Chains A and B, each alone.
Chain A
Amino acid sequence: MILAVAGGKGGVGKTTVAYNLAAALGAVVVDADLGMADLPGGRGPDLHDVLAGRADPTETVRAGSVDVVPCGRTLGGARACDLSALGDAMAAIERERGTVVLDCPAGRRADAGVPLAVADACVLVVSPRAFALADAIRTRELARELDAGLVGCAVNRVTEEPPTDAIADALGAPAAVVPADPRVGRSVAAERPVVDAAPESDAAGAIRELAERVPR
């Protein structure tokens, strides 16, 4: 199972949701944001190396509380990436590790589209504000054209009761509400996913709810 976590807009929390969702799924999370990597880095080969043909995909998996395939941080590395190699690379990791969660970049360019084309299904992350929804709808269209079935969406960083039903209707998938919780915000940098750090929290509940919708 290859699951893409996408969202159109930058800064809505795709990386945070991807990381925590991977924790709930026991999956490997891959930082597919080639130009602006967010997941923890580390030494050794990364996704840039894989897409430049310099490294074997499975040797880039870095063990942690959630296993991560980090992405390089240089523009030169991003430029040298051959995205057409992403499908085979993800398939290789999937064969070895089962479920793969792809943290997608923002936008509608090839680097956002190719992970959706490679993925079997996707989760959309939206911010509870109207302007972010428009981008999410465009990304939903892209995912539909590329055959990445939408299994659910995460309304992220919610402070007051959001129009969850309207969002779910607009996107055509059930919406899980992830409340603004500092433990979620810190989870990636601290490498402590919220389902482990605060399993009783509403945020952890929302992440688990999303994880249950992912077919396996």
Chain B
Amino acid sequence: MDLSWTVDRAGDASLVRCRVHNDDAVSRRVRIESRFDAPVLPPRRAGVPEDGWDATGVTLRIGPGERRGFGFAAPSPPVEPPVTVASVEPVDSDEPAREGGGFAGDEDAGPTAADALRELGDHRPPRAAVDGGRGVDGIRTLKRAREADDPRDEDLAVAAPCDSDGGCRDAGSGAGERGRAAPEAVDEWFAAIEARIDRAERLTDADVETATAVVADAGGVDALADLDERVAKDAERLRAVSERAASLAERAAATDVPVGALDRFA
């Protein structure tokens, strides 16, 4: 059994590509284990690991003379060698080969929901269909010309918070924003939510004294009437924002602007 590999580093993770060649004249079942001090992140389809993978490696059935390529990631710095052949066993010749479609399944349990998930097309409606219909609730994207400090940024859009009654606050002058984690308007929005959550937290399982203090702070029970509802709405919006922020951050991290090459073209 021949095993070769390359390891690439991507941020904190290592990406391992392997090729295995069965130079015997019979089928073999080979167990290949990761030597990383971290769990194996196997190839997945529809969120389900490919057949044969587990937290420490993969078990493959390889026909006579067959070469097979595979790969995985591990959240850890590269090690050398990244993989080892843990065992090679003969394959029982009566065992049916699973070639040409069909569901893998376990040897005795038959195909499972995980097999169906892995082999069949994704059922989920596309993200665009979901977000397009609902929008990111309460957040309106508005264009804002940045002051002349960087004309190329004119088209950059920022999200500004909107109140439920429809009024949107101005997104701020934009000056002095650089270097901060979030634009001013976003900070303000977070601060308002934080204040509401603080209040709700103080009222959660509160004793009479704390409750009275909070009510007095708020200026009466009426001011707190819709607090529960607003905090629930806040939670929903925060989740939507965090989902969007995470996906944008992912896209941002994946970009690579070839400035040098562009300069040569210019």
Contact = CB atoms under 8 A, between A and B. Distances in A.
Interface of A: 34-35, 75-76, 78-79, 81-84, 86-87, 105, 108-114, 116-118, 145-147
Given A110-B46, A110-B117, A113-B116, A147 B123 contact: no
A117 B112 contact: yes
Interface string B111-123: 1111111011111
Given A75-B129, A110-B116, A117 B121 contact: no
A166 B119 CA distance: 31
A188 B221 CA distance: 46
Contacts of A145: 102-103, 111
B124 A147 contact: no
Contact of B121 (A78, A82, A109, A146): A109
A79 B114 contact: no
28 contacts: A34-B123, A35-B123, A35-B125, A75-B125, A76-B130, A78-B124, A79-B125, A79-B127, A81-B124, A82-B47, A83-B113, A84-B47, A84-B114, A105-B123, A109-B123, A110-B117, A113-B119, A113-B120, A116-B116, A117-B113, A118-B113, A145-B102, A145-B103, A146-B115, A146-B116, A147-B105, A147-B110, A147-B111
Given A110-B121, A110-B123, A86 B102 contact: no
B222 to A, nearest CB: 28
A117 B133 contact: no
B180 interface: no
A76 B111 contact: no
Given A84-B117, A87-B113, A110 B102 contact: no
A146 B109 CA distance: 11
A166 B35 CA distance: 58
B48 interface: yes
Nearest to B102: A145
Contacts of A78: 123-125
Nearest to A82: B47
A84 B113 contact: yes
A13 B6 CA distance: 54
Nearest to B121: A109
Contacts of A112: 120, 123
Contacts of B119: 113
A87 B121 contact: no
Nearest to B127: A79
B264 interface: no
Contacts of B46: 110
B116 A117 contact: yes
Contacts of B112: 87, 117
A108 B123 CA distance: 9
Interface string B14-40: 000000000000000000000000000
B178 interface: no
A98 B92 CA distance: 40
Given A108-B121, A110-B116, A84 B127 contact: no
Contact of A114 (B117, B129, B133): B117
Interface centre among A86, A87, A111 (most CB of B within 10 A): A111
A82 B105 CA distance: 19
